[in-house]
Every structure is written in structure tokens, then in C-alpha cells.
Amino acid sequence: MNQNPNENILQKAKRLIWQPIDPWLFYAMLIIYVMSLFLLYSADGQDIGRLESKTLHTVIGFALIWLIARTKPQTLAKFALPAYLLGVLMLVGVHFFGVTVNGSTRWLNLGIRIQPSEIMKIALPMMVAWYLQRNSGNLRWHHYLTATVIVMVPVFLILKQPDLGTATLIMASGLFVVFFAGLPWKVILAALAAAVAALPLMWNYVMHDYQKTRVLTLLDPTKDPLGDGYHIIQSMIAIGSGGVWGKGWLNGTQTHLDYIPESTTDFIFAVYGEEFGLIGNLLLLAVYLIILARGLYIAAQAPNLYSRTLAGALTMTFFCYAFVNMGMVSGILPVVGVPLPLVSYGGTATLSIMTILALLMGIANQKKDNKGRLKN
């Protein structure tokens, strides 16, 4: 029986497009994207402007996913050092030529506005993983120390912007690589003890006044309900008023009466909690947990130190961003400028998170390639 040549072409095209994509991560992203469209439409006063921009960024993101997922991690590892150096150079550029918004200098205007700290979300863990892979046969204490210095250089530059929240999360992304590389537990515990001991020094000499205010506000937001505590109180009211089932889409009073600040970006989880309630929150958490579990599984199955440490670090970084945003909006963590992954409006943030997931897909494809060679 002769096959239709058009069917063969379609099958080949389908295989070409779908082959590098990890179904678990892809469908999880798709679910979150659809949810984010409903949220943004409600949070932005039923205006489609941000929906169009979000869709454009997501389409570009899916194209990036396809390209990156098709590329072998070993090939991408060659760009780790140049990407890291470029990111550091851009962070230095922010210090001298940066654009200031709301008192923070975090952006560079290069025709389009770029936030270099978003680049470091990807470049830093890649750089640390690449460095440790080069010495994987004989890792010693000085290799771990050098890796820590690599982490702290961009973290220091981001702290100068100032952006304590992003600096902490980017530092975590780099240190996760060191952890997954096999750093001894006694060193980890000693480092944690030193960090706790250093907290008074950070409070007195590192943290800015507004950062101290955020910590004090977290402890008791009712001290200044119309000032520094206003954002946390309003977001907690929104989430609490949603109850179990929520008020329904487009029916959030806190949202539509403009009580929730930054409702399309950092505080979009409050909009979600008010309109979709506890059940909606649990659904979003379930999708995030699928991504977390899949990412850790990919890390556990990775064939070498570079892929294992990078996959583990990227997965935990994704988890930290989700946890910090939800914790901030729920009033259990200080307010920091951290978006909700794949949900909040923001082009650079969306593309950086999708790049993280694309790298995970590329590492997952290593296992497929190895299986294919064994069969052959």
C-alpha cells in the first residue's frame, strides 16, 4: 500500500518539532500560560494590551525553547564563560549608565530596556557548573572556594543597585550548583552558621533603610497600615476574601478597586487567590510541583556533573522564585521585587524562566540520545 507523500512530510515535520520537547514541562507551561491570560485580563482592568505583549513574549519563548532544547548541553556549556563575563560587564554598566526606576537602578537602555540581573539567572549557574565540570575528576576545597567567588561577584554588583531580593535568589542559584556538585554537609552547616552569625553585620552595614523597613513590616504590618504595611495587608485581605472557591473571574473587589499594588506583576498571586480561591491556589501549586518533580528527575538521570548540577540548580531556582513570590504576597516573607514564574507580566522575566525550562529539556534529551546510541 502506497503512503501519501504529504503524510510522510507531515509526520517528519511533527517529529522534528515535537522531538526535543519534554511533554511534562511543555504542558505544565501551557497550563500556566492559559491561566496567566485570564489573570492579566482581570488584573489590568479588562484591557488586552498586556495580553498581546504576554502572548508575543510567550511565542518567542517557545521558539527559544525549541532551539535550546535541540542543542546539546555540552555545546551550550561553551557559551557559559562569555555569557557570564557579558552579564558582569552589563551589571558594571548598570552602575555607571543604568536607568533608575522607583529609586532602583537595575536597567540598561540599549535601544530596548534590559535588566542584566535576569541574564545572570541563567549565566551564573551555567558558569559555576562549567567550572566544576572542568575539575570534576579531582574536586578540592579550593575549587569550591573559587566557585563561591564566581557566585559572589555578580551578587555584589546586584546588591549595589540595590536589589536584595534578586541578589539573594541569584546567589542561591549559584550555590545550588555547588551543593549538587557534592559539597560536604559539614561545610554547608558551617556556612549556614556563619551566615546566621553575620546577620547583625548585614543589618547594620549592608541593608538599606527601606530593606530594614520591609523586614520590620513583615513582623507587624499593622504598625503602619496606610504606609509600609499597606501592600501586605491588602494582598492578605484579597487572598483571605477569596475563601475556598474564590469570588469568580472578574469579580475580585480588591483587584478592580485598585487596592492591590502591582497587580499584573509582583502581586498577581493576590489577584489569583481572590478570584479563584484556595482551590485555584492548590491547582497552581500542583502544576508548579509537577515542574519541580520533573526537573529533579531530569537532574537525577543526567549523565555527567555539568548536566546534573545545572539541572538541579535551575529546578531549585525556579522553585525559589515561586516560593518567594507566594510567600511575599501571603505575608510570610518580606516584600521583594520577584515575579511569579510564567504568570506575572514582564518580557525579560518570562523569557528567562522559559530559558531555564528549555535547558532542562536539553538535558533530558541527553538521556534520549544515549538510549538511541545503545539501541543502535
Give the span between the Cα atoms of 11 and 252, in whole angstroms. Answer: 46
What would the mean pLDDT of 336-360 be, rounded to a whole number?
A: 86
Give the span between the Cα atoms of 119 and 101, in whole angstroms. Answer: 19
Q: Reply yes or no on whether the pLDDT at 1 is more than 50.
A: no
Which helix or strand (DSSP H or E) is residue 269 part of?
Answer: helix 268-301
pLDDT tens-digit series, residues 303-341: 889 999 999 999 999 999 999 999 988 888 888 778 889
Q: Reply yes or no on whether the pLDDT at 376 is more than 50.
A: no
Q: Which residues contact 335 (CB under 8 A, 6 or more apart)?
A: 214, 217, 218, 231, 232, 266, 328
- Contact 317/173 with Cβ under 8 angstroms? yes
Instruction: With cut-offs at 50, 70 and 90, classify the pLDDT of residue 232.
Output: confident
Give the span between the Cα atoms of 334 and 204, in whole angstroms. Answer: 18
Q: Reply yes or no on whether the pLDDT at 54 is more than 70.
A: yes
Give the span between the Cα atoms of 355 and 58, in whole angstroms. Answer: 11
Label the pairing between strands 99-101 and 104-109: antiparallel
What would the mean pLDDT of 352-363 be, rounded to a whole number?
A: 91
What would the mean pLDDT of 87-108 be, rounded to a whole number?
A: 81
What would the mean pLDDT of 86-109 be, rounded to a whole number?
A: 81
Q: Taking the CB of residue 2, how many other CB atoms lie within 10 A of it?
A: 4
Instruction: With cut-offs at 50, 70 and 90, classify the pLDDT of residue 15.
Output: confident
Rounded to the nearest 10°, the torsion over CA 128, 177, 123, 17 is 120
| Res 370: pLDDT | 56
Q: Taking the CB of residue 235, how many other CB atoms lie within 10 A of it?
A: 29
DSSP assigned state of 188:
H
| Res 374: pLDDT | 41
Q: What are the strands of the beta sheet with 104-109, ordered from one edge?
A: 99-101, 104-109, 113-114
| Res 6: pLDDT | 60
What would the mean pLDDT of 339-352 be, rounded to a whole number?
A: 85
Q: Which of 82-91, 173-182, 209-218 has the lowest mean pLDDT?
A: 209-218
What would the mean pLDDT of 279-306 be, rounded to a whole number?
A: 93
Strand partners, 101: 104
End-to-end Cα distance, the chain:
28
Side-chain half-sphere exposure of 311, counting CA atoms within 13 A: 28
Give the span between the Cα atoms of 174 and 176, in whole angstroms. Answer: 5
Q: Which of 116-130, 288-302, 358-372 has the lowest mean pLDDT?
A: 358-372
What would the mean pLDDT of 65-76 be, rounded to a whole number?
A: 89
Give the span between the Cα atoms of 322 and 337, in whole angstroms. Answer: 12
| Res 163: pLDDT | 79
pLDDT tens-digit series, residues 178-187: 999 888 888 8
Rank 50-54, 297-301, 366-370 by mean pLDDT and report only the highest. 297-301
Query: What is the pTM assigned to this prediction?
Result: 0.87
Position with higher pLDDT, 304 vs 108: 304
Q: Which of 70-74, 278-282, 308-312 has the lowest mean pLDDT?
A: 70-74
